[in-house]
């Protein structure tokens, strides 16, 4: 299944595809190789994985496309710790203690992401951000107040904002919201490219285009069959294939859907508070937006069932119009012109949690599937959990995400 179709209203390319900083050294696979760890997929998940392992292990990354060209290039990259399912709702599904662990783990993953980017000096426009979660048709002000209290009780930086304050401070007409600290935003393609370059500096090799057709494990490791006719032998394989699920990995409750996004022109005049804010709403489907470094507004939503709906041009036009109208209704004070619009495949799970862990019935194999609006936060968590397993350790939260 193709992961992503992006279209630019002007030129046909993705918002993140222009300018410097995207180069990743790649090579063709011209002979059989043997490494400690092979990572299948050179998107943001494969990039965090390769980066986390490359200083200790020999690592090869394989991708059937050029690096970053899966859902990573389409991402709007709100780097949030807030899971699609509120803490109160997640508690009902997986129990309060597990739900608190999932929220705490996402919170620390955003910090970890920021530490890595700063330490490695990756130029990707990373900025710490607050979030404003608006009452909507799924959860109203009472539910949001209870949610804010539940989060605050476990030490998360969330506070309820009543309707009057929301109107006065933000010019938004909703019955309430939750204001939270501790999230971030970045250019996802430059983030992934930077991680892959640092992994390359530590001797990881990125092979592209190479499609993995099959994998077989034995007591000592895994052998991958590729479309270029050369086998890849490894002690461990990690499938970071985005929404192109690898064979044999169960995905109960998960589905691939389609989602749409647009960007306004650079230097769109916006209220000051929006400069460091990620805004989303408790609706289904939900609208979300944030500013980019060049003063564009990046806006997304309109999710729809169907793994290929994102490929339809008439749908892209219709969804772009709907997103723009919803934005205008919410922020009537902002005048904007649309510059880009695009669409992509996106994964959802029943809990909003990802699937990370060993592939059943295949020794030495792990799979990473980051579902929900926090896909990139989950890429970080995956690199920690799988990294620990490859080092022979058990991450204390591994059970939360096991496929
Ligand atoms: C429009 C849109 C907006 C989004 N917004 C956000 C957001 O605001 N915040 C957020 O956290 N997340 C967001 N996401 C989700 C996020 O982008 C994804 O979770 C993330 O990009 C997944 O990265 P990945 O590396 O796992 O997958 P991908 O980037 O899809 O990479 C997988 C790679 O695997 C390769 N591959 C697959 N199968 C094979 C094979 N058999 N052999 C060789 N190579 C293979 C593919 O070619 C691809 O390059 C959004 C997604 C979309 C589409």
State residue 78's pLDDT score: 97
Task: Kindly state whether residues 153 and 279 are assigned to the same domain.
Answer: yes
Determine the Cα–Cα distance for residues 85 and 207; give it in Å rounded to an integer: 37
Residue 360 falls within a domain, yes or no?
yes
Flag whether pLDDT at 12 surpasses 60.
no
State residue 288's pLDDT score: 97
Is cis: bond before 285, omega within 30 of 0? yes
Instruction: Check pocket membership of 244 for ligand 1, CB cut-off 6 A.
Output: yes
Atom of ligand 1 nearest to the CA of 212: 42
Q: Which of 323, 348, 373 is the last residue of a domain?
A: 348
> In the numeric block, which tokens belong to residue 314?
């008439």
Q: For the chain, how many structural domains are there in total?
A: 2
Determine the Cα–Cα distance for residues 326 and 134; give it in Å rounded to an integer: 13
Flag whether pLDDT at 65 surpasses 60.
yes
Closest C-alpha residue for ligand 1 atom 2: 75
Give 128's pLDDT tier (boundaries 50, 70, 90): very high
Flag whether pLDDT at 37 surpasses 50.
yes
Task: Kindly state whether residues 273 and 339 are assigned to the same domain.
Answer: yes
Give 250's pLDDT tier (boundaries 50, 70, 90): low
Rounded to an integer, the average pLDDT of 60-77 is 94
Per residue in 134-159, pLDDT (tens digit) is: 999 999 999 999 999 999 999 999 99
Task: Kindly state whether residues 27 and 171 are assigned to the same domain.
Answer: no
Q: How far is the CA of 243 from the centre of ligand 1 (A)?
A: 6
Closest C-alpha residue for ligand 1 atom 52: 75
Q: How far is the CA of 70 from the centre of ligand 1 (A)?
A: 5
Task: Kindly state whether residues 241 and 205 are assigned to the same domain.
Answer: yes
Residue 69 falls within a domain, yes or no?
yes
Task: Kindly state whether residues 318 and 362 are assigned to the same domain.
Answer: no
Domain that holds residue 233: 4-75+189-251+352-401
Residue 96 falls within a domain, yes or no?
no
CATH classification at residue 154: 3.30.9.10
Predicted TM-score of the model (pTM) = 0.95
Task: Kindly state whether residues 391 and 358 are assigned to the same domain.
Answer: yes
Rounded to an integer, the average pLDDT of 187-204 is 97
> In the numeric block, which tokens belong to residue 78?
């709100």
Task: Kindly state whether residues 59 and 150 are assigned to the same domain.
Answer: no
Task: Kindly state whether residues 364 and 272 are assigned to the same domain.
Answer: no
Task: Kindly state whether residues 133 and 281 are assigned to the same domain.
Answer: yes
Instruction: Check pocket membership of 212 for ligand 1, CB cut-off 6 A.
Output: yes
Q: Which of 325, 348, 371 is the last residue of a domain?
A: 348
Flag whether pLDDT at 123 surpasses 50.
yes
DSSP 27: B
Residue 286 falls within a domain, yes or no?
yes
Rounded to an integer, the average pLDDT of 220-247 is 93
Task: Kindly state whether residues 342 and 382 are assigned to the same domain.
Answer: no
Q: In terms of DSSP bridges, do strands 277-281 and 288-291 run parallel, antiparallel, or are they unpaired?
A: antiparallel
Per residue in 313-350, pLDDT (tens digit) is: 999 999 999 999 999 999 999 999 999 999 988 888 88
Give 248's pLDDT tier (boundaries 50, 70, 90): low
Atom of ligand 1 nearest to the CA of 43: 25
Q: Looking at the chain, how many residues does it have?
A: 403
Q: How far is the CA of 93 from the centre of ligand 1 (A)?
A: 26
> In the numeric block, which tokens belong to residue 117?
């980017």
Flag whether pLDDT at 88 surpasses 90.
yes
Instruction: Check pocket membership of 72 for ligand 1, CB cut-off 6 A.
Output: yes
Q: How far is the CA of 72 from the centre of ligand 1 (A)?
A: 4
Element housing 322 (H / E): helix 313-330
Q: How far is the CA of 319 from the centre of ligand 1 (A)?
A: 21
Atom of ligand 1 nearest to the CA of 342: 1
Question: Is 111 within 8 Å of 144 (Cβ atoms)?
Answer: no
Strand locations in 227-330 (E):
232-239, 255-264, 277-281, 288-291, 297-305
Instruction: Give the rounded percent of residues in the chain with a pLDDT score beyond 90.
Output: 83
Residue 98 falls within a domain, yes or no?
no
State residue 247's pLDDT score: 72
């Amino acid at each position: 299944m193709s992961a992503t179709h992006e279209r630019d209203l002007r030129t046909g390319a993705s918002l993140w595809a222009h300018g410097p900083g995207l180069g990743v050294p790649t090579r063709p696979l011209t002979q059989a190789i043997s490494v400690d760890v092979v990572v299948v997929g050179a998107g943001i998940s494969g990039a965090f994985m390769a980066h986390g392992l490359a200083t200790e292990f020999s690592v090869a990354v394989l991708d059937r496309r050029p690096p970053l060209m899966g859902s990573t290039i389409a991402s709007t990259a709100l780097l949030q710790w807030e899971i699609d399912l509120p803490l109160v709702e997640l508690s009902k599904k997986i129990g309060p203690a597990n739900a608190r662990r999932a929220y705490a783990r996402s919170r620390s993953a955003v910090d970890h992401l920021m530490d890595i980017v700063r330490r490695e000096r990756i130029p990707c426009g990373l900025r710490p951000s607050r979030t404003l979660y608006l009452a909507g048709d799924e959860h109203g002000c009472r539910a949001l107040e209870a949610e804010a209290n539940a989060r605050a009780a476990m030490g998360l930086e969330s506070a309820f904002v009543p309707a009057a304050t929301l109107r006065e401070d933000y010019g938004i007409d909703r019955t309430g919201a939750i204001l939270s600290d501790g999230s971030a935003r970045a250019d996802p393609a430059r983030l992934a490219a930077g991680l892959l370059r640092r992994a390359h500096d530590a001797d990881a090799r990125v092979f592209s285009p190479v499609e993995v057709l099959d994998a077989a494990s034995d007591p000592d490791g895994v052998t991958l069959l590729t479309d270029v006719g050369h086998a890849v032998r490894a002690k461990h394989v990690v499938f970071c294939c985005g929404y192109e699920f690898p064979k044999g990995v169960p995905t109960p409750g998960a589905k691939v859907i389609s989602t749409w996004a647009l960007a306004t022109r650079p230097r769109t005049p916006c209220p000051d508070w929006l400069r460091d804010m990620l805004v989303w709403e408790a609706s289904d489907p939900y609208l979300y937006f944030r500013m980019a470094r060049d003063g564009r507004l990046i806006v997304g939503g309109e999710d729809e069932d169907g793994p290929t709906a994102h490929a339809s041009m008439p749908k892209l036009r219709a969804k772009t119009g709907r997103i723009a109208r919803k934005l205008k209704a919410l922020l009537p004070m902002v005048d904007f012109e649309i510059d880009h619009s695009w669409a992509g495949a996106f994964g959802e799970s029943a809990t909003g949690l990802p699937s990370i862990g060993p592939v059943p019935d295949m020794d030495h194999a792990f799979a990473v599937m980051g579902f929900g609006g926090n896909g990139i936060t989950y890429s970080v968590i995956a690199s920690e959990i799988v990294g620990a397993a490859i080092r022979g350790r058990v991450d204390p939260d591994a059970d939360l995400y096991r496929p």
